[in-house]
Chains A and B, each alone.
Chain A
């Protein structure tokens, strides 16, 4: 079956760095997306990885290891507005996104 595993909740301090890990199992693989979702809002795109390695985009970076079925999202210089849920969503062989429950990130001053 298809499965996503992320921590349910994480807490970090403003200005710090946090890494959100994701392991996945999918039927086929066409890349992995990370989305941010604030409470009561729709998800917004953060990053996309299809090859192994690190993709950096400003304060956010995402890493992928296809052989391990593993990805992480790295957030640097945390700001209060980064408090949100972070969704790891691999794309299967049918180009459908597979969604888990996400990781709720709480930023404390």
Chain B
């Protein structure tokens, strides 16, 4: 149980275009989903926390108008990177926390590797 999927697994796009990444909890309901970014050989960086039905909470330094997050249901959150630039190339990982979980454990999706040309 507790499987999280992400789509797409990898994407290559041209500078200036927008890219949408989906995160789904397949066998549980996730009241909270997290979006992380990880550059090579660096730690996971939390970008934002999204709660179902409300606006996402962005970490300091993360532009909310550039990284649009929508958490419309208990099983789906989306991250849209708008007007992507080469510096946005990174590994984007989502995680989900199960509603009513005893441990508040985060289950991670497999990640999406974004390359902006």
Contacts and interface: CB of A to CB of B under 8 A. Distances in A.
Given A31-B104, A91-B104, A43 B44 contact: yes
Interface string A68-109: 000000000000000000010001000111011110000000
A61 interface: no
A99 B44 contact: yes
Overall SS of chain A's interface? loop
6 contacts: A42-B108, A43-B108, A87-B44, A96-B46, A96-B49, A97-B46
Given A42-B111, A45-B105, A91-B104, 10 more contacts: A31-B104, A40-B113, A41-B111, A43-B93, A45-B107, A87-B44, A96-B46, A97-B106, A99-B46, A101-B41
Interface of A: 30-31, 33, 35, 40-45, 48, 50, 87, 91, 95-97, 99-102
